[in-house]
Amino acid sequence: MRTLFRPVVFFALLAIFAAVVQSQEGNGTGGESDGPGTNFLLFSPGSPSATTGGVNVSISIQPTTGYTCTSVTISAVNQSGTTLATATIKNPGETATQNFTGLGSNVNVTIVVNSVFQNGGQFDYPYLEANVTTK
């Protein structure tokens, strides 16, 4: 009888422990996580778009609760890795736009977007990249 009783008690205690631990997970707000959300940096619809000898870029910026986007750097880089043009926008708000001109006709460029989001002493660095060929 003892040999049967010990495993049953062990599994009962294990089940109770698992139930207690599971009830303590999360922040009790119905599915939201305890950690920070996500800072979004997205190309706006239709962006980047080729122009004659250039590229128009528009970025949508969506910081998570408590964060602010402090800067966005948009660069046009050719296929050999040379930066053809760059622009840094400080405290951009909800959108950042940049029109690059004078890049040349029929040039394949990579648009590289680096950003800095800040919440006090915490930082996040979302990054985007897209290819476009100028007209």
Instruction: Give domain status of residue 89, yes or no.
Output: yes
pLDDT at 11: 52
- Which pLDDT score is estimated for 16? 52
CATH number at residue 99: 2.60.40.10
For 11-29, give the secondary structure using H, E and C: HHHHHHHHHHHHHHCCCCC
Helices (H), the chain: 2-24
Query: If pLDDT is split at 50, 70 and 90, which confidence band does 19 have?
Result: very low
Burial, 14: exposed, middle or buried (Cβ in 10 Å; 0-12, 13-18, 19+)?
exposed
- Per the domain annotation, does 18 fall within a domain? no
What pLDDT score does 98 carry?
98
pTM: 0.74
pLDDT (0 to 100) of residue 4:
55
pLDDT at position 33 is 36
% pLDDT > 70, the chain: 73
First to last CA, the chain: 85
Q: Would you call 96 helix, strand, or coil by DSSP? A: strand
Name the residue range of residue 100's domain.
Answer: 40-133
pLDDT digits over 38-50, tens only? 999 999 999 999 9
**pLDDT recorded at residue 23:** 36
Task: List pLDDT tens digits, range 48-105.
Answer: 999 999 999 999 999 999 999 999 999 999 999 999 999 999 999 999 999 999 999 9
Say yes or no to pLDDT of 115 above 70: yes
- Per 3-state DSSP, the chain is made up of helix, strand and coil in percentages (nearest 5) of 15, 45, 35
**Tell me, what's the pLDDT at 20?**
42
Does residue 24 form part of some domain? no
- Asked whether residue 11 is domain-assigned, the answer is no
d(CA 87, CA 73): 6
Q: Which of 48, 112, 58 is nearest to 86 (CA)?
A: 112
| 32 lies in some domain | no
| φ/ψ (deg, to 5) at 38 | -115, 135
For the chain, the domain total comes to 1
